[in-house]
Amino acid sequence: MMVETLNIEVDGYPLQLSAQRAAFDPERKSLLIADAHFGKDAVFRARGVPVPAGTTGGDLARLDTLIAAHKPESIVFLGDLLHGRESLGSETTLALEEWRTRHASIRIVMVEGNHDRHAGLLPPSLAIETVFEPWRQGPWALCHYPQVVEGAYVLAGHQHPVYVIASRADSVRVPCFRFAARYGVLPAFGAFTGGYVVNQSGDAAAIYAVAQHRVIAVRERR
């Protein structure tokens, strides 16, 4: 599968935005993923909400596609790797362990998010390092919550930004990347997530929407 990307500069540094809802830092060969929420379907079912299974497997398959396309040396999850404590049930844990075994040579780091704190400690079998925000990598301060960090440009998640594309007859919400002057927010990677509409945001942030398997610049930063 082809993974379409858009090459941009953020605060003077190159970044590749993927239509698979991730970003790649080509200088540090690092893949950046926000809000995967693995195991969210398992959490809902454990709490009595009858949602379909299989979203974690689909998201891991998309992650495999990104790895094949970019060949990263590291993957950094910008918080909310898991959705809740029930995400560590046998089915989800087994899927994550099998995926991790296939990519054992890649360093994986998780910047702890609010859902990760509720989910609890990751199994050692996943070989994922847990760090706390802001975690510095080159020019970036990698965080879960969007914020300002002196001396760095912040890349974060948490907000699940979406952009509404509307016509007279209909409208659709699509994931988007949003880059303000001091921080940028990646779209939620997980397929089973909601979103925060950014169309009317009052600042001059750049917005890149993911639509039709492409990344489209809908507003350049002013």
* Ranges of each domain in the chain: 5-219
Structure tokens at 147: 């914020």
pTM of the model: 0.89
- What single DSSP character describes residue 82? B
For the cut 70, the answer to whether the pLDDT of residue 42 exceeds it is no
CA distance 19 to 134: 26
pLDDT tens figures, 106-154? 999 999 988 777 766 788 888 999 999 999 999 999 999 999 999 999 9
Q: Which residue has the higher pLDDT, 75 or 42?
A: 75
Structure tokens at 168: 């007279």
Nearest to 201 by CA among 142, 172, 143, 161: 161
For the cut 70, the answer to whether the pLDDT of residue 49 exceeds it is no
pLDDT tens figures, 87-104? 566 677 888 899 999 999
What's the N-to-C CA distance of the chain in angstroms? 35
Would strands 196-197 and 153-156 be described as parallel, antiparallel, or unpaired? unpaired
The phi, psi pair for 197, rounded to 5°, reads -70, 130
> Would you tell me which CATH number, out of the four given (3.60.21, 3.30.70, 1.10.3470, 2.40.128), belongs to the domain 5-219?
3.60.21
For the cut 50, the answer to whether the pLDDT of residue 44 exceeds it is no
